[in-house]
Structure 1
């Protein structure tokens, strides 16, 4: 897949809240995920597809309800792309909130090798 194809497919999966499916299909085995800061219960950097799956599972366990997700059109430059992800979400024990982040991805050989989030 080209970078544009990976970007379009990931954006669509995210719009449909199919994050686990996106990881399974689009991520390289050695992919790295970098969070914007120290988030309680999460490492700043997660390495490897298995660890990313565990991170996704852990996050989903913290979610009480989802009320919609939107994703901007991807912006592509060379082997990287980004988009803005906005989730209307209620975490367990918390108030409903809108979480917005800039998501930046790097692609190699048709697979995502890194993701980094900025809030």
Structure 2
């Protein structure tokens, strides 16, 4: 169930929509918790096949240094993006906070990581928020929001 953010849901329609979301809400919370746990355990790359739809998309806030584009389309492209990032960075510390749910089909996660860029040895603190959209029990879209310096 996807809700159009431009749709005017007023009065009784809002109440009825919230009542009908019970099952969606439980599934959304479970998917979000499983995702956050996988990230905390640093199983993010391994969780892609299980948690992402085949046609999922990933949108970065900016073009990452190790890539030439912001959007990765498809599960294999998302795995490739993560592999590239892990090949060029060493994670020293990782904090993952969430999920923050937004029924019926989205959840957010806050990330904070201390990483070392392998090519330069530079240590960096990365902070970002990611919003995940879910359909039919799988993540179909991830969008990253960065904290500027």
User: Shared fold (TM-score greater than 0.5)?
Assistant: yes
Q: How many residues align?
A: 118
User: How large is the RMSD of aligned CA atoms in angstroms?
Assistant: 1.3
Pairing 1:28-107 to 2, within 5 Å after superposition: 28-42=53-67, 43-63=69-89, 65-78=90-103, 79-92=105-118, 93-107=120-134
Structure 2 gaps of 5+ residues are 1-25
Q: Distance in 2 between matches of 1:118 and 1:94?
A: 25
Q: Distance in 1 between matches of 2:58 and 2:109?
A: 15
Would the aligned equivalents of 1:75 and 1:83 in 2 still touch at CA under 8 Å? Answer: yes
Would the aligned equivalents of 1:7 and 1:74 in 2 still touch at CA under 8 Å? Answer: yes
Q: Distance in 2 between matches of 1:69 and 1:24?
A: 22
- The TM-score with structure 2 as length reference comes to 0.75
Q: Distance in 2 between matches of 1:24 and 1:30?
A: 11
- State the Cα distance separating 1:71 from its structure 2 match: 1.0
- State the Cα distance separating 1:116 from its structure 2 match: 0.5
Would the aligned equivalents of 1:89 and 1:99 in 2 still touch at CA under 8 Å? Answer: yes
| Structure ID, larger Rg | 2
Q: Distance in 2 between matches of 1:66 and 1:112?
A: 24
- The TM-score with structure 1 as length reference comes to 0.93
Question: Secondary structure, in 3 states, of the residue corresponding to 2:72?
Answer: strand
Greater fraction strand: 1
Structure 1 gaps of 5+ residues are none
Q: Distance in 2 between matches of 1:117 and 1:94?
A: 25
Specify which structure has the bigger relative contact order, considering alpha-carbon pairs within 8 angstroms and separated by 6 or more residues.
1
